[in-house]
Structure 1
Amino acid sequence: MNQAIAFAPGELDRAAHLRNADTTFKDSRARTMVFWRGKLLADADDRPMQVALDHPALGDAREPAIFLGLTDNGPRFAADLPLWTPPEDASTIGQFVDQSLQVHPAWPTAKFVEVRSVMPTLSRLDGELVATGRALLGWHGSHRFCANCGSQSMVESAGWVRKCPQCGTQHFPRTDPVVIMAITSGDNLLLGRGPSWPEGMYSLLAGFVEPGETIEAAVRREVVEESGIAVGTVR
């Protein structure tokens, strides 16, 4: 089976020059993906649902949909529904492996799915849209208040900026650098696994790069922290 590579070069025109233009929201072809607690609303084939911006169910959104960019089929957005509460059990949400599905009454044939589970099957364009939308919505959800004065900030530039109405500080989406490494010894490859992962699931070691740290130093530190193994040359 051929699979797309998530985060490979995509086809999305981010159209930053339109982030302050009302025309993108008024375009009749504009559609939004829908997220809830980081999970994606997907159809029966695990493809992102594309919903009209004036859909009544988007009333459960706390803030306006985020403009992601332009596609051949029109503007694309991402919306979050933090005010909706599903009847299904949501206790596994946020865990590394979340196989639960939530169904919104407005879309009875669709379901909210863990993004990690569908990412390998998405097209390059959909993968870029989903990754961008989920990351931006996650940032908005955890940065609603100004880090400078504590006041509630407001969404600007179609979701790409938050601005504090009290002190005027602008806040921009956060991107955290990480490393993922293949540690080898001859024909052997070092893998790790979390205690809550499904049987047979392993991963390369990975971790965040600390402030002022080089990529090579981050690799050495993370490998020691996670496995107790000191590595040699990093390349």
Structure 2
Amino acid sequence: MKRWFYLLAALPLLFTACRENVEEITVTGFTYQPPQVIVTADLSGQVVDANGDIVTGATVRIGSLATATDERGFFQFLDAQLNSRGTYVTVYKDGYFPGSTRFFPLNNSSNYVTIGLLDKTIAGSFSNAEGGTVTADGAQVSLPANGVARTNGTPYDGQVQVAVQWINPTADNLIEIMPGNLQGVSKDGQEVSMATFGMLAVELQDEAGNELQVAAGRTAELTFPVPAEIRANAPAE
């Protein structure tokens, strides 16, 4: 199952655009291929958890390039071939949801990012035969009976463990802990900025920790809180 559910509102904003990683996006019958302008630049940064504590031994990737964070959580890429129109960085570490960000390097520039990882903690479980609901921080993930399958599409009979993290759209460290950043593509192919009213990181696992997915023809229902300070701007449904 895809680890991230993006619960966003596609609202054009009047400030500098933030961008979401889009290697290729297909929406309502058209394909968007983002532009590439390759430059040589450096990237350094630090990986932390949601509390700001350092994360050591995390794998950091830019395309085919990879490195690991040191004892202080730092990483570095020197003289790398990067896309000035948006370079996507991903971070992986056992026990955490994947982290990521996107930045826009100039030629011969030095760049710095901080990427936050969210704990992949099991919030609850249920029998796949019965379906169930798991709640975390006011957010809910509900699946119907037999709504989960193995990643190869075959039926699954057993307990479903659900890891859930709600990303508060008003969090001070939102830019660090959210995946990518906030850019979408309109149906006429124009890049637009978006505002978020919340995101959920979700992963389904069997009792051995193997990844599961939503079964074909089934849907998961996601419910999440909208903080009071942005509720007036949220859509009614």
TM-score (norm 1): 0.26
* Higher relative helix content: 1
Structure holding more strand per residue? 2
Determine which structure has more spread, i.e. the larger CA radius of gyration. 1
Q: TM-score, normalised by structure 2?
A: 0.26
